[in-house]
Amino acid sequence: MQPAVELKDVSFAYPGGPEVLSGVDLEVRRGEFVTIAGPNGGGKTTLLRVALGLEAPATGEARLFGEPADRVRDRYRIGYLAQRTRLAIDAPASVSEVVTAGRVARRGLLRPFAQADREAIADAISRVGLQDRAATPIQRLSGGQQQRAFIAKALAGEPELLVLDEPTAGVDVDAQEAFGAFLGGLHEALGVTILYVSHEFGAVERFVERVVLVRGGIVFDGPPAELPAHWHDPSHVHP
């Protein structure tokens, strides 16, 4: 089976800027739970954007599910949770509406929802424990509950690859720990490939199979147990 994510000798620079990534080789197998960590400005979000086909590498190639990342078919196989602490819109949006938005790509833009879609949405809401709050405007939920609603949105499309970009930004330590345990349980239950991108990874260290540290390139790639002690705080990573 093709890897979920594959980067081969990738380098990248924004127009007129210095090289952000160079010589990146990375393979994430299906079903793995991997954290991509590193200091702010180290290139981890750029690496993610290249891996998802949102940015074209200057050299090398990026592949998703074995296909070129920018031309991959059936992109609904990717569940994506962007860094955010609030909704992008001002209008009240119920939990159910937010989660439903995560199902649209899988169903197709113009096709009406079928029973299977409604069940997938309800299942995603139940999985994050918000079934009693489905009709509640998401703005009235706590930060941790909002985060779970966004996870449900990413799960509603029944993704094969779940990508979380700085999901714990602005969330307190206890909520981060709870979120890490929740993701660990989710990975075990669904077997979904998880790519967790964050400048710190303490909350998920017990659950991930691999830690990938990025600082212009990959400076460490292996199980958390093999991570040198002085790199556990990635803001102090030095190649």
Angle value at C-alpha 73, between 23 and 102, nearest 5 degrees: 100
Using CB under 8 A as the binding rule, the residues of this chain from 152 to 191 that contact another protein are 153-154, 157, 163
Stretch that binds another protein, among 4-12, 22-30, 72-80, 205-213 (CB under 8 A): 72-80
Single out the residue of 195, 211, 216, 221 nearest to residue 69, CA to CA.
195
Using CB under 8 A as the binding rule, the residues of this chain from 33 to 52 that contact another protein are 52
Q: What single DSSP character describes residue 53?
A: T
- Class of residue 88 by CB neighbours under 10 A (exposed 0-12, middle 13-18, buried 19+): exposed
Position among 13, 101, 141, 181 found at the interface with another protein (CB under 8 A):
101
Nearer to another protein, 102 or 180 (CB): 102
Position among 1, 16, 18, 88 found at the interface with another protein (CB under 8 A):
88
Q: Which residue has the tokens 């929740």?
A: 182
78 touches another protein (CB under 8 A): yes
231 touches another protein (CB under 8 A): no
Least distance to another protein from the beta carbon of 92, Å? 5
Position among 27, 67, 70, 97 found at the interface with another protein (CB under 8 A):
97
196 touches another protein (CB under 8 A): no
Size of the site for another protein (CB under 8 A): 36
131 touches another protein (CB under 8 A): no
Tokens of 32: 């793995």
Least distance to another protein from the beta carbon of 133, Å? 12
Position among 23, 68, 92, 191 found at the interface with another protein (CB under 8 A):
92
148 touches another protein (CB under 8 A): no
CB burial readout 152-176, b (16+ within 10 A) else e: bbbbbbbbbbbbbbbbbeebeeebb
3-state SS, one letter per residue, for 176-212: HHHHHHHHHHHHHHHCCEEEEEECCCCCCCCCCCEEE
3-state SS assignment for residue 76: helix
The phi, psi pair for 76, rounded to 5°, reads -60, -10
Nearer to another protein, 197 or 227 (CB): 197
Binding site for another protein (CB under 8 A): 52, 54, 74-76, 78-82, 84, 87-94, 96-98, 100-102, 104-106, 109-110, 135, 137, 153-154, 157, 163
